[in-house]
Every structure is written in structure tokens, then in C-alpha cells.
Chains A and B, each alone.
Chain A
Amino acid sequence: MLDPGILFAGVLNGLLAGGIYVLVAVGLTLIYGVLHIINFAHGSLLMLAMYAVFFLWRLSGLDPYAALPIVIGAAFVFGYLLYRLVIGRLSHGRDENILLITLGVSIVVDNVALLLFGGDTQTVTTPYASAFVRLGDAFLPLPKIISFVAALLVCAVLGVFLARSDTGKAIRAVARERQGARLVGIDVDNIFALSYGIGIACLGAAACLLMPTYYVTPSSGHAFVLVAFTIVVLGGMGSFAGAAIGGLIIGVVESLGGLLLGEQLGQIGISAIFILILLLKPSGLFGARQ
């Protein structure tokens, strides 16, 4: 049987990892909630943002946390343009088309990254990378605590933005009732592109928070895409609270799965949850009934 101390540390580490997952999944669920598109390129775009963080650090010595505003801004513009120029224009509004187009985008992004950056694993080294905070028996890496807090902060800002600002209200209006929003004079196409941009901006934030403790390769996107979809499906497609709680649950499941089943087999927890939720309760834990 596992020592309770190890279990405690496992749960805490899982929660900390879950914070980043929340950030990745919130972007995905926003894009789904508004545009009803399954953004298969989500993982690949996260990978791209991680490379942006890496090169900013490598070329100008910019700390990943200091890079937050730059990468968030750049990711927003990239997402906005990607929607305007490619996804929106070519999808003709059919959801399977969008799925295939975002798949195409992910293939292109992954392989361009492989061509330009090579297949090597890249990491950022920071002075605080190995700093720890001790909590009972658990040693928690400081960067993970920072990223956890920052991730929740970004989510909170996003929540306030959606609830209070005019643009946020327009986004929610479009998500709820597309035709009605058009009728009251909201530029729906622009809201689509904005929402996609915001979703990708969340990835920019996630990339900055990930890089101090994580590595990036051109295939990093693969590792995140199924995780992000599992969280979104678990929480209910389009539900923010669901994405938040789902992210934390998946973080813990992954951490405990690794402890109980070993490094290799432990990863199966994510796929198993994904399959079971889709088969048994496709609306997710917090999703609205369709």
C-alpha cells in the first residue's frame, strides 16, 4: 500500500499540474462554447507558444514569466488571424470541416516546427527552477506553485472580462444565440475571431507558465491535445467551471495514475476517463443538457 505521505504529495503535485491544464482547457472550451468548433490544433498551437517562450529566453534572456504579456499578445494576434484567414474562411460552418481543417493546421504547425527547430528537446533554465516549498511531507517545486496561482488568476481575469466587458457580453451573446446576436447588431464573425484569439491567448499564458518546469519538442502538442479534450469533455463542453474542476481532477488522476500504475501504464487514466465520459455521460459533469 502507498504511504499516505507520498499519496498526499502526489495529490498536491497533481493539483499544481492541473492548474496549467485548466488554462489550456479554458481556451479550448471558450472556442467550443462560442464557435462550436473542436479546435484540434490546440496542442500544436500550445507547442508553438512554448517555442516562442523558449526563443525569447534563448535570444534575449527574457524570463518566461516576464514574457507573459508579449506571448499572450502575440498568441492572440496569431489566433485571431488564423481564424480570419484560414479557419473561418474555409470551413463553411460545418463542424466536421472545422475538425479536419484544424487537424490540417496542426499537421502543418507540427511539421514546420520540426523543420525549423529540429526534433531536440529544449528547456529553459531559470535560477528558481529547483527551488522548493516544503509542506508537511511534500516538497513542492516553486515554479509549479507560481504557475498554479497565475493560471487561476488568468482564469479569473478571463471570467471577469466575459462577465463585465462589452466584448465579453457580446461573446456570451453569440455563444447563447447566434442569430439573435446578429439581429441586435453584433458583428458575429468578428466575435468568432476574437474568441478564437482569446482561446489561443490562454495558450500563450500556459506556455509561459509551463516552460520553467517543462520542456518543448515539436511533438509536445500531442501530449496536451488529448489531455485538454479530456478535461473539456469531463467538465462539459463549453463550461468554464467544468474546465476548471476537470483540469484539477485530471491533474490529480495523472499524478496518482503514475504513482499507482507506473510511468507507462499510468497515462492510460486520461484515455480511460475520456472514453468513459463520452460513452456514459457525453454532456460531462457540469455541461448543459443538449
Chain B
Amino acid sequence: MTRQDLLPALALAAAIVLPLVAPGYLVDIGMLVFFLAFIGQSWNISGGFAGQTSFGHAVFFGTGAYTSTILQITFGWNAWLAWPAAMLAGAIVGWIIAVLSFRAGLRGSYFALITLAFAEAFRILANSVSFTHAGLGMLIKADQRAANFQFRDPIWFYYLALALCIVSLLIAWRLTRGRFGARLVAVRENEDAARALGIDVFAEKVKALTLSGAIAAAGGTFYAQKYLYIDPNIAFGVDKSIEMLLVTMVGGAGTIFGPLLGALALTGINEATRALASVLPALKNVQPLSLVVYGVMLILIVGRLPDGLARLYQRIHRNA
């Protein structure tokens, strides 16, 4: 085992053991980090590796959350069975949006805007039609048994989020090693050159968004099961799309650990502002303050550090 493998191995060991002794709220924060890293990785596959910046990834997240919830509430499915169905739905929506957009030749900013419009259209639909219970949102009946994908002890959600995060890291790792990932990077760097090399640019981009859609949808179901409630704004709101983009961009788009680093940073900033608010009672609203910090980080990282925190880490590592 080289020194390079040591850090991830130690981190993993700590992630498994620590929650057994840590207080409950820390376990919840850890769960949030891994969950954010997971949905961020979904954005990273299409936005980071394949370079197709999306402003509307909530469309997949929400599709997953609503699909599994509707299957449970309206059709009486078991939540575990509904999960793969939700992923399939996310993949299908990803495939449809990709085929439509990429066939029309949309790239760059235009692709970002059309994904935003799709998410908005889904949000308005979910807000209007009866099978999603419109603006009321959907409440999953609490029946805390593992067989229902509901856990009495929140530590199980933590471990599930950790497992999801590890799976997403393995997928990203595969992308940096395999041919599919190499083709995506070629498409990102220069579409015309990639085409000249014989890469089917359209097909690769469609595959990336389909995979990304399935993963984001899996995150949607996880969210619905954890909080047992979704509504159109939670599921399809622009905030969720921005969150997925932010953790990846800040952490390092197109890198394996980018979304995880970004999720750690976002959650860390969140907790720091929360601590600040407890000292300065004038700061009633914690969420906006951390988002201000995060927005500034996004601007600075795009301008000064295009590969995000992951590259910063590498730089420090190399200089040491």
C-alpha cells in the first residue's frame, strides 16, 4: 500500500467507526456530506467529466423522489422495489433531455439554460397535477422498519449515504481509468477533435446524461425516504440544481474526489456560520450567509482555480 492509498483508507475507516461514538447531530451532518457528495457526483459525470454544464439537475433528483414516492403511496409498492424504478425513471428523463438537446446541437450556456427550463417545467407540472398532490406535497407514512427503507436509528441512513458515496466514487474512478471516461473527457476538451478521432460525440453525451440522471434519481429517493416528505420546490427547485453544481464546481469538476471535497466544504461552512449565529444572535438566518460564502467561492474558483479544491489539495501535496 502506497502513501497515496493510505489517506483514503484511513478516512474510510474513520467514516465507519466514528459515528458509533459521535453524538447524533454529527452523524446527521456526516450523512448530509455523503448524500451531497453522491448527488454532486451525478452532476460531475455529465457536468465535470463530459463538460455539459447543467443548471437543472433537480429534474432528475425530483423525478426519482416523486417516482418512488408515488409508487409507494398510490400503488402500494415497497420502497426498496421503488428505488430501482426511480433510477430507471431518472435515466429515461436523462436520456430524453439529452437526445432532444444534443440532437438540436445545444451546448455550453444553451444546454445549461434548457436544463433549467426542463426542471422548471417539471416543477410547475408537479405543482399542478393531482397525482403528485400538487402544491401540498407528498407525505410518506412513517413506518420505521428497515424493510420499508425507513430506519429508527439515523445511523443507518448515515451508513447508506456512505455506501452510496463510495459507489459514486468508484463510478468516477472507473471513468478516469476506462475508455468511456476517456471519451467523455475528449468530448469535453474539444468536440470536433473528438469526432475526428472517431468518437460518436452525440452517443457519449447521451450516455453520460442518462447515467447521471439515474444517479441523481437514486439520491431523490434517498432524500424522500429520509425526510418522508417531498413537494415540488424541494424536488424540482432551482436550489437543488445549484447545490449539485456548487459542490462539484467548488470541489473540482471532473475529478474523482471533487464532489466529496465540495460537500465537506459546503457543510463545513454551514456549520461554521451556524456557530457564528449562536454567538451573534443578530444573525438569525444562517443559510443565506453560508450561500454568500459559497457564491464567492464559486466566482473565485472559476476565475482563479478552475479545477477546484481538489487541485489545491494536489498542489499542496506536491509541494510538501
Which residues of A are at the interface with B, using a C-beta cutoff of 8 A? 38, 40, 86, 89-92, 95-97, 99-101, 103-108, 110-112, 114-115, 118, 222, 226, 229-230, 233, 262, 264-265, 267-268, 271-272, 274-275, 278-280, 282
Known: A114-B288, A274-B117. 4 other contacts (CB 8 A): A90-B300, A106-B295, A111-B287, A274-B114
Which chain B positions have C-beta within 8 A of A106? Answer: 295
Which chain B positions have C-beta within 8 A of A280? Answer: 104
Are A271 and B124 within 8 A (Cβ)? yes
Q: Is B23 an interface residue (CB 8 A)?
A: no
Say how far B6's CB is from chain A's closest CB, in angstroms.
34
Return the contact of A101 from the options B128, B135, B302 (Cβ within 8 A).
Answer: B302
Q: Which of B9-17, B28-36, B105-113, B146-154 lies at the interface with chain A?
A: B105-113
Give Cα A89–Cα B300 distance, bound, in whole angstroms.
Answer: 11
Give Cα A111–Cα B287 distance, bound, in whole angstroms.
Answer: 8
A-B pairs with beta carbons under 8 Å apart, 27 shown: A38-B112, A38-B113, A90-B299, A90-B302, A90-B304, A91-B302, A95-B109, A103-B242, A105-B295, A105-B299, A106-B295, A107-B294, A108-B292, A114-B285, A114-B288, A115-B288, A226-B116, A265-B124, A265-B125, A265-B129, A268-B124, A268-B125, A274-B117, A275-B118, A278-B110, A279-B106, A282-B110
Give Cα A91–Cα B114 distance, bound, in whole angstroms.
Answer: 22
Which chain B positions have C-beta within 8 A of A100? Answer: 53, 249, 298, 302
Return the contact of A279 from the options B55, B101, B291 (Cβ within 8 A).
Answer: B101
Are A90 and B125 within 8 A (Cβ)? no
Give Cα A153–Cα B125 distance, bound, in whole angstroms.
Answer: 37
Which residues of B are at the interface with A, using a C-beta cutoff of 8 A? 53, 55, 100-101, 104-106, 108-110, 112-114, 116-118, 120-121, 124-125, 127-129, 134-135, 238, 242, 245-246, 249, 283, 285, 287-289, 291-292, 294-296, 298-300, 302-304
Are A264 and B285 within 8 A (Cβ)? no
Say how far B33's CB is from chain A's closest CB, in angstroms.
20
Return the contact of B291 from the options A96, A97, A111 (Cβ within 8 A).
Answer: A111
Which chain A positions have C-beta within 8 A of B283? Answer: 115
Q: Which residue of B lies closest to A98 (CB)?
A: B109
Are B285 and A101 within 8 A (Cβ)? no
Say how far B302's CB is from chain A's closest CB, in angstroms.
5
Give Cα A107–Cα B196 distance, bound, in whole angstroms.
Answer: 39
Say how far A187's CB is from chain B's closest CB, in angstroms.
22
Q: Which residue of A lies closest to B103 (CB)?
A: A279
Are B292 and A112 within 8 A (Cβ)? yes
Give Cα A279–Cα B118 distance, bound, in whole angstroms.
Answer: 12
Q: Which residue of B lies closest to A86 (CB)?
A: B299
Are A104 and B302 within 8 A (Cβ)? yes
Say how far B145's CB is from chain A's closest CB, in angstroms.
36
Return the contact of B104 from the options A38, A111, A278 (Cβ within 8 A).
Answer: A278
Which chain A positions have C-beta within 8 A of B128? Answer: 262, 264-265, 268
Say how far A110's CB is from chain B's closest CB, in angstroms.
8
Give Cα A282–Cα B292 distance, bound, in whole angstroms.
Answer: 34
Give Cα A244–Cα B129 distance, bound, in whole angstroms.
Answer: 33
Return the contact of A89 from the options B116, B289, B303 (Cβ within 8 A).
Answer: B303
Give Cα A90–Cα B297 distance, bound, in whole angstroms.
Answer: 12
Q: Which of A40, A97, A271 has the most CB of B within 10 A?
A: A271
Give Cα A110–Cα B101 distance, bound, in whole angstroms.
Answer: 29
Are B303 and A96 within 8 A (Cβ)? no
Are B118 and A104 within 8 A (Cβ)? no
Q: Which residue of B lies closest to A118 (CB)?
A: B285
Are B299 and A104 within 8 A (Cβ)? yes
Give Cα A100–Cα B303 distance, bound, in whole angstroms.
Answer: 10
Q: Which of B53, B124, B246, B298 has the most CB of A within 10 A?
A: B124
Give Cα A27–Cα B110 distance, bound, in whole angstroms.
Answer: 18
Q: Which residue of B lies closest to A108 (CB)?
A: B295
Are B292 and A279 within 8 A (Cβ)? no
